[in-house]
């Protein structure tokens, strides 16, 4: 019995329309229902490649790299000044999965600035923060706060060098009172020096040295006392 071959059914017209509507590779401008606008490259209907996104509700703009619909790569995020309407940079640097990740610079509304490493939208790694009062912190960060080894320089040039935890001086460190010509070397716990040794440090050239000299230490082994305190501190951290 001969095999009868029927003609192949034509592809539904909506299939062709859907295929033509797929945004892939080329640059397109698309408006969202809420008024947001994106102009850039696409892949399988997702923002992918180079592109610019403008949010209608606050006028913010992101220009840079995208990956499967999210900010990923290098890009800059800015917002308009409420008075002048000029765009002010908020963050310039690397992104991953829609969050700051890698090396970048954040500009805060108060005029403060952070330049350094990021992870999942938080300051993490090595970075430098310039605060509004003129002080600067440069060192390690963890979970968006100073954590590890770092140096804090105050507006009067006094500085602390040492360990940090949860944004506070914590552990072995040295505080240079350059205005007094003295140095405090000891151990801090949540910003409070618990024990240490104060010595004169460039006292002759200090702008405002203390009135009375430091009395002579009567301990037979001050270094041993400090070392013992360090051991006690380490043990308390391991409990």
- 8 Å CB contact between 230 and 238: no
* Tokens at 193, concatenated: 């020096």
Could you tell me if 129 and 228 lie in one domain?
A: yes
pLDDT digit string (tens) for 193-206?
999 888 887 777 78
Any idea which residue has 């002080």 for tokens?
135
Please report the pLDDT score of residue 202 as a whole number.
78
Residues 74 and 172 in one domain: no
CA distances from 148 to 6, 156, 173 (A): 76, 24, 11
Residue 2: which pLDDT band, with cuts at 50, 70 and 90?
low
Task: Read off the pTM.
Answer: 0.78
Question: What's 53's domain CATH number?
Answer: 2.20.110
Give the C-alpha separation, 30 to 41, whole Å.
Answer: 11
pLDDT digits (tens, 9 = 90+) for 84-115: 989 999 999 999 999 999 999 999 999 999 99
Asked whether residue 145 falls in the same domain as residue 194, the answer is yes
- CA angle 184–132–194, rounded 5-degree value: 25
Antiparallel, parallel or unpaired: β 70-80 and 87-96: antiparallel
**Could you say which of 65, 83, 107 is where a domain stops?**
107
Across the range 184-198, mean pLDDT stands at 93
Total domains present in the chain: 2
86 shares a domain with 45: yes
Q: From CA 145, how far away is CA 82, in angstroms rounded?
A: 29
One domain for residues 96 and 46: yes
Nearest to 125 by CA among 106, 150, 89, 151: 150
205 against 221, higher pLDDT: 205
Domain of residue 63, residue span = 21-107
Amino acid 204: pLDDT: 77
Q: What is the pLDDT of residue 53?
A: 98
Range from 11-15, 83-87, 219-223 carrying the lowest mean pLDDT: 11-15
117 part of a folded domain: no
Picking from 149, 106, 108, the residue whose alpha carbon sits closest to that of residue 126 is 149
Per DSSP, the three-state class of 228 is: helix
Structural domain contains residue 160? yes
Mean pLDDT of 120-128: 98
Task: Identify whether residues 100 and 158 lie together within a single domain.
Answer: no
> How confident is the model over 133-177, as pLDDT tens digits?
999 999 999 999 999 999 999 999 999 999 999 999 999 999 999
Predicted local confidence at residue 10, as pLDDT: 53
How far apart (Å, rounded) are the C-alpha atoms in residues 142 and 38? 34
pLDDT for 97 = 97
CA-based end-to-end distance of the chain:
89
Per-residue pLDDT, 111: 93
């Amino acid at each position: 019995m001969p095999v009868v071959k029927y003609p192949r059914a034509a592809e539904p017209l909506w299939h062709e329309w859907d295929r033509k509507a797929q945004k892939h590779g080329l640059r397109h401008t698309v408006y969202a229902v809420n008024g947001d606008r994106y102009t850039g490259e696409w892949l399988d209907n997702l923002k992918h490649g180079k592109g610019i996104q403008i949010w209608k509700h606050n006028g913010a703009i992101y220009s840079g790299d995208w990956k499967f619909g999210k900010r990923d790569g290098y890009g800059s995020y800015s917002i308009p000044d409420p008075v002048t309407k000029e765009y002010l940079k908020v963050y310039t640097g690397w992104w991953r999965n829609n969050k700051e990740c890698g090396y970048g610079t954040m500009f805060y509304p108060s005029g403060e600035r952070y330049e350094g490493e990021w992870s999942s939208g938080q300051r993490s790694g090595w970075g430098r923060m310039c605060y509004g009062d003129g002080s600067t912190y440069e060192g390690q960060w963890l979970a968006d706060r100073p954590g590890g080894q770092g140096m804090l320089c105050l507006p009067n040039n006094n500085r602390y060098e040492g360990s940090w935890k949860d944004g506070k001086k914590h552990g072995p460190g040295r505080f240079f009172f350059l205005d007094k010509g003295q140095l405090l070397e000891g151990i801090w716990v949540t910003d409070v020096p618990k024990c240490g040794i104060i010595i004169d440090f460039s006292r002759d050239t200090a702008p405002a040295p203390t009135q009375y000299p430091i009395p002579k230490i009567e301990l037979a082994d001050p270094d041993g006392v400090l070392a013992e305190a360090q051991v006690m501190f380490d043990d308390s951290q391991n409990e």
